[in-house]
């Protein structure tokens, strides 16, 4: 696929030394079993943060922000969901990670990713797109190297002080935080002449109050693909969620009639208002499902990636 090393903003923090790392089958002593099985450990929970990566091949040295959520479960399993996009190439990169962890000693935590799958989609240059696949062993080692260092939990903050910098995460206490996927049918795309077009939708509600979305769909008749990139903010009050998109960029490409193609551009205010109206209403999270009962009487459902 593509090579990546992870460049991070450097902080500083003391912590706990990781004593074993492995890609593939866990090393002996790393399995979450016996006395090493975590119970009410301060590391248990969901954690969220961001990092800047400057060596994606598709981004030519530009910083790409990855929004990251990962979970350490009491049964010793670990999973992660990391995603980001480059505004220049419009490439969206996703990572789905699985691993194990444990605390076999009072002064150490053992952590390793055992499965990392990555995909690249939405690139303006379609030759850059890559379907979900296991990362190379070399890239997997880089990911696991990031886990090596000192781990510490202070209040709601997790710090991992690694050789190339410190990773900072905050504990997720809100069910809305995470990445969500779903699909809606739209019948008002100009190139589709009233036909329903299924939009595959993926968006992230981040711990820091930012919101990012990537919605795309193709009309089989015209061949046109609609591509939306969205940025916004969200917040919670005592009895409501406040959500609004602040930027929506639209692109149409791949049309059989090239005159229907449209370069990326900000949507007009009236269309932006329609997008925001879809967010108005009651938001409810039940397990791994998000339901939005909109102000116009529709219900939109999304599934949590993590």
Quote the pLDDT of residue 40. Answer: 65
Are 93 and 120 in contact by the 8 Å Cβ rule? The answer is yes
Quote the pLDDT of residue 235. Answer: 94
Handedness of CA 187, 192, 246, 304 (dihedral sign): positive
Length of the chain: 306
Q: In what order do the strands lie in the sheet with 281-286?
A: 262-266, 241-253, 225-236, 210-218, 197-205, 178-186, 299-304, 289-294, 281-286
How far is residue 18's CA from residue 111's CA, in Å, rounded to a whole number? 7
Are 58 and 2 in contact by the 8 Å Cβ rule? The answer is yes
Report which secondary-structure segment, H or E, holds 97.
Answer: strand 92-105
List the one residue out of 12, 69, 68 whose CA is nearest residue 46: 69
CB atoms within 10 A of CB 61: 8
As a whole number of Å, the CA-based R_g of the chain is 21
For residue 213, what are the CA distances in angstroms to 123, 125, 210, 245, 274? 15, 20, 10, 9, 15
Quote the pLDDT of residue 2. Answer: 34
Task: Please state the pTM of the whole predicted model.
Answer: 0.79
How far is residue 276's CA from residue 98's CA, in Å, rounded to a whole number? 35
Q: What residue ranges do the domains of the chain occupy?
A: 16-171, 178-304
Quote the pLDDT of residue 277. Answer: 83
The tokens of 191 are what? 């190139």
For domain 178-304, say whether CATH 2.40.128 is its number: yes
| Residues whose CB is less than 8 angstroms from the CB of residue 239 and which lie 6 or more positions away in sequence, other chains included | none
Report which secondary-structure segment, H or E, holds 146.
Answer: helix 137-147
Query: pLDDT means per 10 residues in the chain (306 residues)?
Result: 32 30 31 43 93 91 94 95 93 96 78 95 93 94 85 93 86 94 93 96 94 96 96 88 92 95 90 84 92 86 90
Q: What is the DSSP string of 253-289?
A: E--SSGGG-EEEEEPPHHHHHHHHHHH-EEEEEETTE
Quote the pLDDT of residue 107. Answer: 65
């Amino acid at each position: 696929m593509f090579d990546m090393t992870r460049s991070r903003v450097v902080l500083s923090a003391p912590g706990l030394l990781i004593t074993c790392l492995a890609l593939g089958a866990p090393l002996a002593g790393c399995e979450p079993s016996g006395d090493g099985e975590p119970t009410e450990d301060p590391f248990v929970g969901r954690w969220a943060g961001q990092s800047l990566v400057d060596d994606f091949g598709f981004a030519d040295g530009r910083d790409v922000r990855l929004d990251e959520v990962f979970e350490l479960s009491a049964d010793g399993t670990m999973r992660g969901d990391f995603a980001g996009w480059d505004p220049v190439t419009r490439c969206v990169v996703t990572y789905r990670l699985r691993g194990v962890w444990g605390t076999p000693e009072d002064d150490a935590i053992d952590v390793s990713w055992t499965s990392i799958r990555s995909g690249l989609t939405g690139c303006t240059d379609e030759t850059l797109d890559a379907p979900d696949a296991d990362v190379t062993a070399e890239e997997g080692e880089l990911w696991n190297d990031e886990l090596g260092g000192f781990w510490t939990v202070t209040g709601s903050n997790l710090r991992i002080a690694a050789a190339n910098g410190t990773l900072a995460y905050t504990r997720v206490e809100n069910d809305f935080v995470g990445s969500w996927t779903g699909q809606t049918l739209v019948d008002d795309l100009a190139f589709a002449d009233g036909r329903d077009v299924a939009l595959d939708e993926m968006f992230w509600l981040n711990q820091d109050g930012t919101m990012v979305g990537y919605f795309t769909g193709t009309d089989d008749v015209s061949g046109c693909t609609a591509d939306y990139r969205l940025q916004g903010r969200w917040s919670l009050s005592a009895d409501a969620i406040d959500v609004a998109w602040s930027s929506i960029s639209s692109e149409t490409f791949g049309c059989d009639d090239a005159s229907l193609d449209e370069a990326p551009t900000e949507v007009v205010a009236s269309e932006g208002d329609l997008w925001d109206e879809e967010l108005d209403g009651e938001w409810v999270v039940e397990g791994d499902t998000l339901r939005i009962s909109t102000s116009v009487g529709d219900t939109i459902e999304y599934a949590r990636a993590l």
